[in-house]
Structure 1
Amino acid sequence: MFDYYPEGWIIDTPENRAATLNISALNDACRDGKILEGRALICDSSHNLLVDLGCMKGVIPHDEGALGIREGTVRDIAIISRVNRPVCFTVTGFQKDADGHMTAQLSRRAAQDKCMTEYVRKFTPGDVINARVTHLESFGAFADIGCGIIALLPIDAISVSRIDHPRERFTVGMDIRVVIKSVENGRITLSHKELLGTWAENVAMFKAGETVAGIVRSVESYGIFVELSPNLAGLAEAKEDVVPGQQASIYIKSIIPSRMKVKLVIIDTFDYSYRPSAPKYFFTGNRIDRFVYSPPDSEKEIATNFISE
């Protein structure tokens, strides 16, 4: 299966620069139906996008701005929001403007249709693909999975350790890897936590007796849950004046694989604003059929099945 990339991935590649070098190269791209990228400069009052191609200007007419625009199933914000950002397109032709300057006619809709037909519609649960975060909501992150086609990554599928908002893990524009969780009626849902490692892989980064950094995730009557890594949290003994979201210095008291328990003691907590860093992935393949989070000797199994048994 040929890969199609999120918008912005190819704009600065030698191949894209060569294809937009001059009108002859653009003619070749037009003939071959090649998907290119340029930066959208302006969205005019009719919601046509003016695109900088380097050698000339290009225009994406309103109806060619995205899949679903013609039918009214996609709002114009899908076009307006691309200003000052890379957009993908195919070249459909050339014409002279009122001043006699040659302008390339472009279609983002055609590029997305090609991506949908040759790439997205072939997805099955368990496929691992590249994505780029486009915006964040309290219930999840939206990500470009190819040529500006957007899918939802629900908040509970981002990591094993629970978070209050996706901004605790991602920033807009961050490149990530995701798993296709489900494909239903053309709607794609993503997952992410299966790529962040099993309990055993995460706990192997720590040892009893160490004092390490953590993030307070929840304060309960019986103890305080502290995140040691996105896919690993432990339970600390109760301590006064601790609130969720604080950074913490944590002493690791014990690690019990059979119960998937990490017992902690909070040494100190403090408030600190941080910008999420790129995720660390333990799984680097292109396909995952079954993910078992729990260790083999655990009293219970925690697993994700991406294929029907």
Structure 2
Amino acid sequence: MNTFKPEGYLLNSLENKSRTRSRAALADAIAEQHILEAKAVLCDSAHNLWVDLGCMRGMIPRLEGAIGIEEGNLRDIAIISRVGKPVCFVVTGFQSDEKGEYALLSRRAVQKECLADYITRLTPGDVIDARITHLEPFGAFADIGCGLPSLLPIDAISVSRISHPRDRFQTGMDIRAVVKNVEEGGRITLSHKELLGTWEENAALFEQGQTVAGTIRSVESYGIFVELSPNLAGLAEPRDDVYVGQQASVFIKSLIPDRMKVKLIIIDSFEACVLPEEPRYFFEGEHMDRWQYSPESCSRVIESVFEPQE
């Protein structure tokens, strides 16, 4: 049985290398309908995608490039943009041209199988693998299986607010995410903040009296919000010499679980080039029904509830 992962997961696996090592191995893959991967090296003038199989060339005809191309609801840029990147496919046969024999491949067939046997079976609260494909001001798009995209809205990326998804992610980054909604046709919306720990789990990483590193996320008239971790920010007193995006050294004045507050004093602020780090996940299970960020002692309840959809 095939398993469905974001494109690129299979590329360097022993199984994939074995199944693309020769024409005979590719012929065997036809009968078994194994999902394989290779790097796309060229998109020709007819928007057929050519891949390097190692043992021979492979061609994904334009209409087999992705679900939606034949139907007319997906633009050809979805194929063109795969050049230089891994693509998944099944082998459907062999043909020849003036350059010799090449394998006929279908990415669309893999996506249809992934949609039917995996994505449409997901339910809210399922925790899945995803790979960031591109970033927009309103959120991050991620491959959740065989090149099929899902949206991770910016407000679902972390509890600590960010100005752009690039503050958290880089293109190509592998993450875990929670299925938030499943719409008709298999369209998935994701969330991420639930995996990054509760207020108490994040606060436990710090102690009153410590001076630690942070990132200035918001400058308000009443104070400066400084992020200590993706799911924990504290408030420092107002000052005029700081701005959003700066790094800061901050003194932890107090941690107050009952009010979900972290009081800080900014010791210094400065410019620094800081790349997004691999996320640290506190939840490692495969499904969650409910997640409560706020401490039990806090009167204000912040939670996510994942309810089954009909």
Unaligned runs of 5+ in 2: none
Q: Does 1:29 align with 2:55?
A: no
1:10 counterpart residue number: 10
More displaced, 124-133 or 268-277?
A: 268-277
**Aligned counterparts of 1:206 and 1:55: Cα–Cα separation in 2:** 54
- The number of residue pairs the alignment matches comes to 308
Q: For the Cα contact (< 8 Å) 1:135–1:143, is it kept in 2?
A: yes
User: What TM-score results when the alignment is normalised by the length of structure 1?
Assistant: 0.98
SS in 2 for 1:63: helix
Aligned residue for 1:170? 169
Q: Indicate if the aligned counterparts of 2:2 and 2:35 stay in contact, CA closer than 8 A.
A: no
> C-alpha distance in 1, partners of 2:308/2:67?
31
Per-residue deviation, 1:184: 1.4
List gaps (5 residues or longer) in structure 1: none
How much has 1:158 moved relative to structure 2?
A: 0.2
Rounded Cα–Cα distance in structure 1 between residues aligned with 2:248 and 2:116: 48
SS for the counterpart of 2:25 is: helix
Question: CA contact under 8 A between 2:2 and 2:34: conserved in structure 1?
Answer: no
Amino acid at match of 2:181: S
Q: CA deviation at 1:37?
A: 0.2
Distance in 2 (CA, whole Å) between partners of 1:55 and 1:189 is 39
Residue 103 of structure 2 is matched in structure 1 by 104
Give the drift of 1:3. Answer: 4.0
Residue 280 (structure 2) aligns with: 280
Determine what percentage of the aligned residue pairs are the same residue: 62
For 1:159-197, what per-residue CA distance to the aligned partner results, in whole angstroms no more than 9, with x for missing partners? 000000000000000000011000112321000000000
The DSSP-based 3-state class of the residue aligned with 1:68 is coil
Aligned counterpart, 1:224: 224
AA paired with 1:116?
L
Distance 1:257 1:3, change over 3 A: farther
| Residues 124 and 308, structure 2, Cα contact 8 Å, conserved in 1 | no
Q: Partner of 1:120 in structure 2?
A: 119
CA contact (8 A) 2:4 2:146 kept: yes
SS in 1 for 2:217: strand
What does 1:1-309 correspond to in 2, within 5 Å? 3-99=3-99, 101-186=100-185, 187-307=187-307
Point out the more displaced range, 178-187 or 256-265: 178-187
CA drift of 1:298 comes to 1.1
- Tell me the amino acid that sits aligned with residue 221 of structure 1: S
CA shift for structure 1 position 28: 1.1
Q: Which one-letter code corresponds to 1:28 in the other structure? A: D
* Residue pair 1:252, 1:263 contacting (<8 A) in 2 also: yes
Query: Per-residue displacement from partner, 1:50-75 (whole Å, max 9, x unpaired)?
Result: 11001100000000000000011111
Q: TM-score, normalised by structure 2?
A: 0.97
Code of the aligned partner of 2:47: H
TM-superposed deviation, 1:2: 6.8
Deviations 1:97-117 (A, max 9, x none): 224x22100000001111111
Q: CA deviation at 1:308?
A: 5.5
Opposite residue 236 of structure 1, the aligned amino acid is A
Deviates more, 1:1-10 or 1:146-155: 1-10
Q: Is the CA contact (8 Å cut-off) linking 1:2 and 1:118 kept in structure 2?
A: no
Deviations 1:262-283 (A, max 9, x none): 1000001001122111111001
Q: 1:199-235 CA distances to partner (integer Å, 9 max, x unpaired)?
A: 0000000000000000111111111111000000011
C-alpha separation in 1, matches of 2:124 and 2:13 = 30
Which amino acid is 1:68 matched to?
A: G
- DSSP 3-state at the match of 1:59: strand
Match for 2:77: what amino acid? Answer: I
Which deviations, in whole Å up to 9, do the C-alpha atoms of 1:106-152 show, x marking residues without a partner? Answer: 00000111111111010110000000000000000000000000000
CA distance in 2, matches of 1:308, 1:42: 43
SS of alignment partner, residue 225 of structure 2:
strand
